[in-house]
């Protein structure tokens, strides 16, 4: 079981900022920017490489949640980045799909 499934199950604590029937969002324990939130589906999906057309509504919902959360925490107007690290070269370390919301400072491009 991944650490994120344990957070969904409330077996380990997290600083949760949003929760609904499809997903939840909480602050990253090792923030890479002043604001760093993770949005994860309740459904166990290993990575973005494994989503299917069945997940279309879920993925759209999660993206809308990132938009709402960015507004809620006050980074929307200045700008932010939504990132989905995928598999080894993508730098994924937890194999439960998640969207990072990063903001609160200028973010460089291209990424490392």
Dihedral sign computed on CA atoms, order 22, 20, 66, 86: negative
Nearest residue (CB) to ligand 5GP, 22 versus 84: 84
DSSP characters over 38-93: EEEESS----GGG--GGGHHHHHHHHHHHHHHHHHTT-TTT-EEEE---HHHHT--
Nearest residue (CB) to ligand 5GP, 70 versus 98: 98
Given the residues 18, 36, 61, 98, the one annotated as active site: 98
Concerning whether 98 is annotated as a catalytic residue, the answer is yes
The residues of the shown chain that bind ligand 5GP, judged by CB under 6 A, are 3, 14, 26, 28-30, 38, 85, 91-94
Q: How far is the CB of 74 from ligand 5GP (least distance, A)?
A: 20
Alpha carbon of 49 to those of 46, 52, 86, 90, 96: distances in Å? 8, 9, 7, 11, 11
Q: How far is the CB of 77 from ligand 5GP (least distance, A)?
A: 24
Nearest residue (CB) to ligand 5GP, 77 versus 86: 86
- Residues carrying an active site annotation: 98
């Amino acid at each position: 079981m991944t650490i994120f499934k344990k957070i969904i199950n409330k077996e380990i604590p997290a600083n949760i900022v949003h929760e609904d029937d499809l997903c939840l969002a909480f602050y990253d324990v090792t923030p890479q920017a002043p604001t760093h939130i993770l949005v994860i589906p309740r459904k166990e999906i290993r990575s973005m490489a494994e989503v299917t057309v069945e997940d279309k509504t879920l993925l759209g919902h999660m993206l809308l949640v990132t938009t709402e959360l960015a507004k809620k925490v006050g980074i929307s107007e200045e700008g932010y980045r939504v990132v989905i690290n995928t598999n080894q070269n993508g730098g994924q370390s937890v194999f439960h799909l998640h969207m990072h919301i990063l903001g609160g400072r200028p973010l460089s491009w291209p990424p490392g």
